[in-house]
Amino acid sequence: MTDKRSQLMISSRRGIGRRIKRDWDLYLLLLPGFVWYLMFMYKPMLGLATAFYDYNIFKGLEGSDFIGFDNFRVLFTGPDFLRTIKNTCMIALYQILVCFPVPIVLAIAISEMKNKFISRLTQTATFLPYFISIVVVCSIVINFLSPSTGLVNILLRRFGYEPIYFMVESRYFRAIYTIMTLWQTAGFNAVVYIAALMGIDPQLYEAAIVDGAGKWKRIVHITFPGILPTVVTMFILNIGKMVKVGYESILLLYQPVTYKVADVISTYSYRMGMENGNFGIATAAGLFEAVIALLLVTFANQLSRRLTENSIW
């Protein structure tokens, strides 16, 4: 048995060597991306050890005291922990309910347009905002909602209403953030579904038209089932990103008066590390966030496999 296993391992290695020798040019193209992934995705994971130390930036990890799970105890018992969990879940729920289905509807609408010029114009107009810097987008939003010079408040005054200080009113923050994210990402996310729509066999639509099916029935019985595997895959990926919720834009938009509805796990980690210098607690918060994301992806994948027979793995 040992000899057979050794022979199998040797033959497997030879097979890998032959494939590398045969497709060396493809592996060479893969190498830069592989190196980048190692340097910027896996190497920083070594810093996760900071979560278990009373980290001192001047002494480094070796000179800092090992304190075990004390940082996690401080994190979980802190006054901001439950608030950040609630805000993360609420903003993520807004993203799932609004920002996830709209690109699907947009992709189907673009593919069903008879006027190709209008179709291409709509796709381009919704696609371009994705390439605008998030700093610029947040600046546009802040200026747009300015109580003195913002277009929204100018219109409110024209109709006889008092100006609203949107950016300091906590009840408006989540809606503003969701609408901004939708505007910036809907067109880009729709591209994935448009590509999936192009893979549907046109003969299915022709047969449906012959049978007298209208546009709505064709969408329900052909279009949506045809892109369902893509929808499931994107849904699982979005579930994994729930706890991230685009903290860069939140950092640019929120203020201390809106912390109670806007402060999420990522922004809390940023404030603990960069503003307060508590790098151990900041790393503990980031590690907790990563574990939750992993659990959510695993749960969503298993649930999808049971309900739709489609999954990532």
- What is the per-residue pLDDT for 139? 92
The CA-based dihedral angle spanning residues 48, 53, 59, 63, taken in that order and rounded to the nearest 10 degrees: -110
pTM for the model stands at 0.80
Asked if 306 and 241 touch (Cβ cutoff 8 Å), the reply is no
Low-confidence stretches of the chain (pLDDT < 50) are none
Asked if 187 and 125 touch (Cβ cutoff 8 Å), the reply is yes
Domains of the chain: 2-50 (no CATH), 69-308 (1.10.3720.10)
Asked if 54 and 284 touch (Cβ cutoff 8 Å), the reply is no
Tens digits of per-residue pLDDT, 273-309?
Answer: 887 888 888 888 888 888 888 888 888 778 777 766 6
DSSP 163-207: P--GGG-HHHHHHHHHHHHHHHHHHHHHHHHHHHHHTS-HHHHHH
Q: Residue 78 carries which DSSP code?
A: S
* Structure tokens, 214: 């209208």
- What is the per-residue pLDDT for 182? 92
Say how far residue 57 (Cα) sits from the centre of its chain. 31
- What is the per-residue pLDDT for 4? 54
Tens digits of per-residue pLDDT, 49-58?
Answer: 888 888 888 8
Burial (0-12, 13-18, 19+ Cβ within 10 Å), 118: exposed
